[in-house]
Amino acid sequence: MKTAKTFIAVMLAAILAPALGSAQNFDLKNIDAGGLLNAGKDLVKAAKPMSDDDEIQVGRRVAARLAGTFGIWKDETWTERINVMGRGLAIYSERPELKYRFAILDTAEVNAYSAPGGYVFISRGLLKQAKSEGELAGVLAHEIGHIARKHVVKEIQKSGVWQAGTKLALSATDLSSDQEKVLQGLTDEAWKSLVVKGLSKEDEYEADRLAALNCSKIGYDPYGIYDFIKRLEPSENQPGPNLKTLLSTHPKPSSRLAELNKLYLKQGWEKGAQPDFPERYTKFVSENPVK
């Protein structure tokens, strides 16, 4: 289990350390960097795109906040499993060059999160909700799709915080107080998009489509993500406590299913044409129970 042990150690050491600073509220008016926040022409100009290095800096802090909020379920076997699956799927994504990291949040809530820069989290509750390897692959590919299309990054780039941050090298080794404040502000913006209000319907639909396409490329049934969402449909109007957050930050399952059906029709896919390995998943769960 060397891979899982190494991943857990690196995840906790490299991600939890910045959590103290990233959890603070961001006070925009405290920044003073030579007129950085003037409401003049600099702030109405189109902000430059966020670099991969800056994205990873922000993502690391968002990941730290997620880990600090929910805790990490440090089961070595499951951690290794989702890393093998997730990194295999990431190869077929639109950003295979990123170093993706996958971890399990220690919560019974059914949910998953994708922090910028390649940090993917799924919950214990989600592992229990999934009924096949294809479904789990679909969820992982959905989160990878958010990262590949930079959905969270695009949201935070709309903020005045990012426009201020374009004047600073956020990926520098030794950060100034102004850089720290901007990073905290960007972390807050990303947190709102991921955890508080959720991403747009269009982003969620796109991530679903990318999940199906990604799974098909690697050899899983592209209906895995459909089957997972289908099981949520009966709860869309009256979600239980473990589904409340997921269903409040995503489009209704029925709407997501309708959008996916458009893709399946366009691609000419038939359900079951590729395997989703329900028996293999059930056997793995029985040998490695999720608490």
Among the listed residues 110, 118, 108, the one whose alpha carbon sits nearest the alpha carbon of residue 7: 118
Q: What is the pLDDT averaged over residues 106-127? A: 98
How high is the pLDDT of residue 176?
A: 72
CA 7, CA 254: separation in Å to the nearest integer? 36
Q: Burial-class residue 177 by CB neighbours within 10 Å (0-12, 13-18, 19+).
A: exposed
In terms of residue numbers, what domain contains 148? 2-21+42-287
Q: What are the pLDDT digits (tens) for 130-140? A: 999 999 999 99
33 domain-assigned: no
CA 144, CA 93: separation in Å to the nearest integer? 7
| Global pTM value | 0.83
Given a cut of 60, whether residue 273 has pLDDT beyond it is yes
CA 168, CA 38: separation in Å to the nearest integer? 15
79 domain-assigned: yes
How high is the pLDDT of residue 31?
A: 36
Mean pLDDT rounded to a whole number for the chain: 85
How high is the pLDDT of residue 180?
A: 81
pLDDT band at residue 22 under the 50/70/90 scheme: very low
Tell me how many domains the chain contains. 1
Q: What is the pLDDT averaged over residues 98-123? A: 97
Contact (CB, 8 A) for 281 and 235: no
- Other residues' Cβ atoms within 10 Å of the Cβ of residue 2: 8
Sign of CA dihedral 177, 183, 187, 189: positive
Q: Burial-class residue 77 by CB neighbours within 10 Å (0-12, 13-18, 19+).
A: exposed
34 domain-assigned: no
Contact (CB, 8 A) for 116 and 62: yes
How high is the pLDDT of residue 46?
A: 44
- The mean-pLDDT minimum among 45-49, 178-182, 212-216, 245-249 falls in 45-49
Give percent of the chain with pLDDT exceeding 90. Answer: 70
270 domain-assigned: yes
Q: What is the pLDDT averaged over residues 43-59? A: 76
Angle CA 163–45–33, to nearest 5 = 40
31 domain-assigned: no
Most confident of 2-6, 14-18, 71-75: 71-75
How high is the pLDDT of residue 169?
A: 57
Q: What are the pLDDT digits (tens) for 198-243? A: 999 999 999 999 999 999 999 999 999 999 999 999 999 999 999 9
C-alpha distance from residue 85 to each of 89, 135, 185 (Å): 6, 12, 33
How high is the pLDDT of residue 47?
A: 57
How high is the pLDDT of residue 5?
A: 54
SS (H, E, C) the chain: CHHHHHHHHHHHHHHHCCHHHHCCCCCHHHCCCCCCCCCCHHHHCCCCCCCHHHHHHHHHHHHHHHHHHHCECCCHHHHHHHHHHHHHHHCCCCCCCCCCEEEEECCCCCCEEEECCCEEEEEHHHHHHCCCHHHHHHHHHHHHHHHHCCHHHHHHHCCHHHHHHCCCCCCCCCCCHHHHHHHHHHHHHHHHHHHHCCCCHHHHHHHHHHHHHHHHHHCCCCCHHHHHHHCCHHHCCCCCCCCHHHHHCCCCHHHHHHHHHHHHHHHCCCCCCCCCCHHHHHHHHHHCCCC
Residue 108 backbone dihedrals phi, psi, to 5 degrees: -80, -10
280 domain-assigned: yes
Q: What is the pLDDT averaged over residues 28-46? A: 39
26 domain-assigned: no
CA 48, CA 178: separation in Å to the nearest integer? 19
Stronger pLDDT, 62 or 178, i.e. the higher one: 62
Q: What are the pLDDT digits (tens) for 162-206? A: 776 665 556 656 777 777 888 888 899 999 999 999 999 999 999
30 domain-assigned: no
Sheet-wide strand order for 119-123: 101-105, 119-123, 112-115
Q: Burial-class residue 11 by CB neighbours within 10 Å (0-12, 13-18, 19+).
A: buried
CA 171, CA 161: separation in Å to the nearest integer? 16
Stronger pLDDT, 115 or 177, i.e. the higher one: 115
